[in-house]
Chains A and B, each alone.
Chain A
Amino acid sequence: MSASTHAASPSPRKPRLVCPAGSLRALTLAIDAGADAVYMGLKDATNARNFAGLNFDLAQAREGIAYARSRGREVLMALNTFADARAPERWFAAVDAAAELGIDALICADTAVLAHARDHHPQLRLHLSVQASATTREAIEFYRERYGIRRAVLPRVLTLSQVEQVCRHSTVEIEVFGFGSLCVMVEGRCALSSYATGQSPNTAGVCSPPSAVRWEDGAGGVSARLNGVLIDRYAPDEPRGYPTLCKGRFDVDGTRDYALEEPTSLNTLSLLPQLMDMGIAAIKIEGRQRSPAYVEQVTRVWRAAIDDCAAQPSRFAVQPEWTAALGRWAEGQQHTLGAYDRPWR
């Protein structure tokens, strides 16, 4: 099925493809490449990808929504940081703005934000953000009972059988991450970035913020520092990655290595038949901070794969050209199934 003829309402067992839009350009490319839904955030600290030059002002949001709507697709808004104690009303204003824009669902994590949406915009569909760290069916049930969430995005720490367990018992739709950067820590419960820089996903919508990064050329190679803390040092001929704190090389007991996580990307393409079989409602592509070209190409591959898998699940095979296309966008050019398949378990 080509992107242009892709149906707006896939059959119930066909997971919806939810793609990142850090800009209007990324949004339109994602839609054209076959995304069922895109997710975006406003230009402020109310969402977890609060980077300069990213995200939407209200006019851009309106334009993006109109573009998606005219093609039968959805726009979700991420409002998934925790309201700042100094000005929680800014988060509530963002909820009001989302409702006024007519977005298809709000993705949030903070109980204060969820409560505001529930009390003031009961018609607004709520998705529980991965930042809410709901790893069990009972945690998800808590948010459904109190806030009426309709879908939950699962943290990237669960194994496939744990995902299945949650899915089987869940009374709401389940969305999982399919591709992109990998958080090895449970989302919404990681303060590593604020420990080093003062800013974290929960408090500022950023992790290892660019403003804290310093690159230094020295005799021993190139050093990447985060607020002065040496995260990694690269030999002159070594490929360099962004110094995300948990993906640096450190010394433990005299051994220098990636002590927490190697810089790899999550890629669950090969798990598609199993994910579809367990009734996953949506698959999310990570990367609102990535380029429009990334969004377009990753969306195109996943569109093809989901359609292929839905058409003939028993004969599904990951096409080499998909892997090659995704490989170009992977961190450290490496893929992993992440926690879904724990070789380290």
Chain B
Amino acid sequence: MNRIALTVGPVLYYWPRRTLLDFYAEVAESPADTVVLGEVVCSRRHEMKADDWLSLARELAACGKEVVLASQALLESVADLRAMHRWADQHEFLVEAGDASALRALAGRPFVLGPHINVYSEPALREHAALGAIRWVAPVELGLDALALINPPAAPVAGGPGADTPIATEVFAFGRLPLAFSARCFTARHFHLNKDDCGFRCIEHPDGLLLDTTEGQPFLALNGIQTQSAAQHCLIADAPALRAAGVRRARLSPTAQHFGTVTALFDSVCNSGADALAAAAELDALSLPGGLVNGYAHRRPGLERMPA
């Protein structure tokens, strides 16, 4: 049976440097195969500079992890572009493209298509394969049936320079879903602060700031300029369906609590034959904030929970 490699996605929140380094020290010891580093949400966050990310990348690589550097999803300023080029200009690590500016900078060499690049059909994946993409992180709202049509398990789209490597499908398999981006910072807005003088209040919310409906249903989470689902998208029970859809990699999005347990459970199901439903029950028992959902995988509203 094919392995499903585990990717630790970029930390989407603003964590203090010490917290972040402690987190990655744990990741280094975890069964994860790949670690995606970099600030992908807000360029104002500055606990880690580019050089800090690079030294962390080297440390993780020395621990046997494949490291990918991710570029920001929404680029607005010249400084944002410069930060993207900083990753594109280095050749030590693979880069994950966050937008079309990055696609242009990375064309002609192997790279990863991030989840915010809009690939919704096989011909679109072929367009990006021609640029050199070797891995495709599918948009979060796509169903598993669509994934199988876009990068068919029996005949995966060939990518990479010279188009010879089959493109590996990676699915967002755990964590609060990154659903939208804005120029506006909703965390700052909540605190009646201007974005340019935000006081970095997002650092106080290590898993985002919960947004409930008026009748108390947890609905979304505010993470600076990013809006996430309040619920944790979790495809652990769907592991057999992931395999059938040709998914080669599962992305686990960092959470402030229980991430080590999450990684271990995914590894046991994806790569050691553990029972998917039993592992799902264990994750349920952790009572992660917002609860677990998997609707998107089943071509349903993302906030629904469907039987696997």
The answer to whether A112 touches B184, judged by C-beta atoms less than 8 angstroms apart, is no
The answer to whether A138 touches B120, judged by C-beta atoms less than 8 angstroms apart, is no
B51 at the interface (CB under 8 A from A): no
The answer to whether B184 touches A184, judged by C-beta atoms less than 8 angstroms apart, is yes
What sequence of 0s and 1s flags, for each residue 71-101 of chain A, a beta carbon within 8 Å of any chain B beta carbon?
Answer: 0000000000011111010000000000000
The CA-CA distance from A246 to B177 in the complex, in Å, is 16
The CA-CA distance from A125 to B208 in the complex, in Å, is 43
What sequence of 0s and 1s flags, for each residue 172-183 of chain B, a beta carbon within 8 Å of any chain A beta carbon?
Answer: 000001011111
What sequence of 0s and 1s flags, for each residue 152-190 of chain A, a beta carbon within 8 Å of any chain B beta carbon?
Answer: 000001110010010000000000000000001110111
A109 at the interface (CB under 8 A from B): yes
Q: Which residues of B contact A158 (CB under 8 A)?
A: 76, 183
The size bracket of the interface on A is: 35 or more
The answer to whether A196 touches B303, judged by C-beta atoms less than 8 angstroms apart, is yes
B272 at the interface (CB under 8 A from A): no
A111 at the interface (CB under 8 A from B): yes
Chain A nearest Cβ from B91, distance in angstroms: 19
Q: How many residues of B contact A (CB 8 A)?
A: 69
Chain B nearest Cβ from A40, distance in angstroms: 23
* Interface set, chain B 56-111, CB cutoff 8 A to A: 73-78, 80-81, 99-101, 103-105
* Interface set, chain A 250-269, CB cutoff 8 A to B: 250-253, 255-256, 259-261
Chain A nearest Cβ from B256, distance in angstroms: 17
* Interface set, chain B 224-238, CB cutoff 8 A to A: 227, 229
| Contact segment of A5-13, A141-149, A277-285, A326-334 | A141-149
B43 at the interface (CB under 8 A from A): no
Q: Which residues of A contact B3 (CB under 8 A)?
A: none
Apart from the given pairs A197-B301, A255-B190, 20 other A-B contacts in the complex at a CB distance below 8 Å: A83-B120, A85-B121, A85-B122, A86-B146, A109-B118, A110-B120, A133-B74, A135-B76, A139-B99, A142-B104, A184-B184, A191-B141, A195-B301, A198-B295, A202-B120, A250-B212, A251-B211, A251-B212, A256-B214, A344-B185
B contact set with A: CB distance below 8 Å: 73-78, 80-81, 99-101, 103-105, 116, 118-124, 126-128, 139-142, 145-146, 149-150, 177, 179-186, 188-190, 194-196, 209-217, 219-220, 222, 227, 229, 295-296, 299-303
